[in-house]
Amino acid sequence: MESFNMHEAKTRLSQLVARAQQGEGFIIAKAGKPLVRVTAIDSPEPSQKKRIGFLAGRCVVPDNFDRLGEHEIAEMFGSST
């Protein structure tokens, strides 16, 4: 998310509001410290956004996941495990 200092945000307010209406949120900072996040009113709340892990509990990852295909890969590259 792009950040703008207070003075720049005042100068470009109309342009920044138009960007927020199109779904591009931004941050207003003062002296480099983020103060507020600006988003459109109809943008989804953070709790409503889809997150990674939405399938938690619906699938099982095998314990040896990081070793799947290990022997086939070793054979392709001429080494043994």
3-58 pLDDT, tens per residue?
A: 999 999 999 999 999 999 888 889 999 999 999 999 888 876 666 666 677 778 88
Q: Check: pTM over 0.75? Answer yes or no.
A: no
Q: Which pLDDT value is given to residue 6?
A: 94
Domain coordinates in residue numbering, the chain: 2-41+55-76
Choose the CATH number for 2-41+55-76 among 3.40.190.10, 3.40.1620.10, 3.40.50.720, 3.40.50.2000.
3.40.1620.10
The type of residue at 68 is: L
Q: Which pLDDT value is given to residue 56?
A: 80
